[in-house]
Structure 1
Amino acid sequence: MTERPKHPNQIDVEVGQRIRLQRNVREMSQTTLADALGITFQQVQKYEKGTNRVGASRLSHIAQVLGVPVSFFFGDPQPSFSTNSADGVGPIEDLSQFLSTSEGRDLNQAFTQISSPAIKKKVVNLVKALAAVSDIEK
């Protein structure tokens, strides 16, 4: 009997991406999260990659440390794991990569400090317009 190579389950990958996303939003290192959980940063890396499955009690503890409900890690009841960007990266991975940059964190923090919904909408429209101009200049 031949063994097939083991691949991470897509749900485990998405849960891991959401762990990384929220950790980055909180500007928390893998080591800081690991210390709070009583595990190694390597274990956090494996969770974030979806290589290791996160148990229910550990996921509950992660949610508590990151300040989100456990449901945050699952999103929609019928999640879509398809990719939708040109580089084949899914929406959660795309967002996680953006928030792991200093520009992404700075933009996110500044945007959340805007209290006016009308101004927030104008900022979004401005960024969309800049993105469209950027695409034309390529």
Structure 2
Amino acid sequence: MVHKPKIKAPNAIDVHVGSRIRLQRGLMGMSQKTLADGLGVTFQQVQKYEKGRNRVGSSRLQAIANILNVPVTYFFEEGPGYSSSPQVSGAFRELTQFLDSNEGLALNRAFMQIQDAKIRRKLIELARTLAKEPSE
């Protein structure tokens, strides 16, 4: 009888840390290759970190935090075992889900490029109208 090695599921904290790396990297408009070059690893390794398949060691996490210009604690915020007020938690989860999508990230980048505040407000109103959400 041949035993196949069990494939271990990624740890929930490793998955969360990876998603936070991806989120911050995306918010900065940084490619996986650029982050990988800064760390001295391959972009495939960065992919594995971001998916939680490979655990990020403490010194490597500090290096990632430095490159992404965030404190190390950023990677653990809202993760398993993290406690905050329910209102902050819900809003943060919503924001993270939005920015974790390709569309959300692209929309955020484009929106931040609009210099005129009046146009940004009009765009928000358009989005609310399209979503059939009442204005505040």
**What TM-score comes out, normalization by structure 1 length?**
0.68
Kept in 1: contact 2:33–2:42 (CA 8 A): yes
AA in 1 matched with 2:9: H
Q: Which residue of 2 aligns with 1:32?
A: 34
Q: Which residue of 2 aligns with 1:96?
A: 100
AA in 1 matched with 2:131: A
Please identify runs of 4+ aligned residues in structure 1 that moved more than 6 A: none
AA in 1 matched with 2:59: S
* Secondary structure of the corresponding residue to residue 53 of structure 1: coil
Alignment of 1:49-128 (within 5 A): 49-76=51-78, 77-78=82-83, 91=94, 92-98=96-102, 101-107=105-111, 109-110=112-113, 126=125, 127-128=127-128
> How many angstroms apart in 2 are the aligned matches of 1:67 and 1:7?
30
Kept in 2: contact 1:30–1:45 (CA 8 A): yes
Kept in 1: contact 2:98–2:105 (CA 8 A): no
1:131–1:54 Cα change, 3 Å: same
Q: Report the aligned-residue RMSD.
A: 3.4
> How many angstroms apart in 1 are the aligned matches of 2:122 and 2:74?
26
**Deviation sequence 1:103-135 (CA, Å, 0-9, x none):** 33212x247x67x8xx7xx669624343226xx
Equivalent residue pairs, number: 120
1:2–1:36 Cα change, 3 Å: closer
Kept in 2: contact 1:12–1:50 (CA 8 A): yes
Q: Which residue of 2 aligns with 1:132?
A: 132
> How many angstroms apart in 2 are the aligned matches of 1:70 and 1:99?
27
AA in 2 matched with 1:8: P
> How many angstroms apart in 2 are the aligned matches of 1:47 and 1:7?
14
CA drift of 1:33 comes to 0.4
Q: Which residue of 2 aligns with 1:19?
A: 21
**What TM-score comes out, normalization by structure 2 length?**
0.69
Q: Which residue of 2 aligns with 1:136?
A: none
**Deviation sequence 1:16-58 (CA, Å, 0-9, x none):** 1110111111111100000001111010000000110111111
Identical-residue share of aligned pairs (%): 46
